[in-house]
Amino acid sequence: MPDGSLATQLDDSRSARRISDRERQSRRAALTYIVLPIVFLTVTLLGGLRLAAADNAFIFLAPALICLALCVAVLMILFFRPAS
């Protein structure tokens, strides 16, 4: 096996690792900025749903103001936190 092919294989593995690192960062950003806020908003909205006893209809009870304020604070932290 010539030395050139070993160097080429090492370069290929390094570039594959860089792509995987870039892909990992992309997935982490998607999780942080898209998935987590959607999960928080879904939990907040579903937390206010109740079933009426008489006809099993859905009733939405507005969440407490402090819950909404905490949700907004968490979203602000997620969107505007310093890069680490």
Which of 6, 77, 84, 75 lies closest to 41, judged by CA? 75
Distance (Å, rounded) from C-alpha 16 to C-alpha 67?
A: 44
φ/ψ bin of 56: left (φ > 0), alpha (ψ from -120 to 50), beta (otherwise): left
Quick one: pLDDT at residue 76? 83
Q: What is the pLDDT along the chain (84 residues), one digit of tens a residue?
A: 455 566 565 555 666 566 678 888 888 888 888 888 888 888 877 777 888 888 888 888 877 888 778 878 887 887 787 665
> Contact at 8 Å (CB) between 43 and 36?
no
Per domain, the residue ranges of the chain are 3-80
- DSSP 3-state assignment of 61? coil
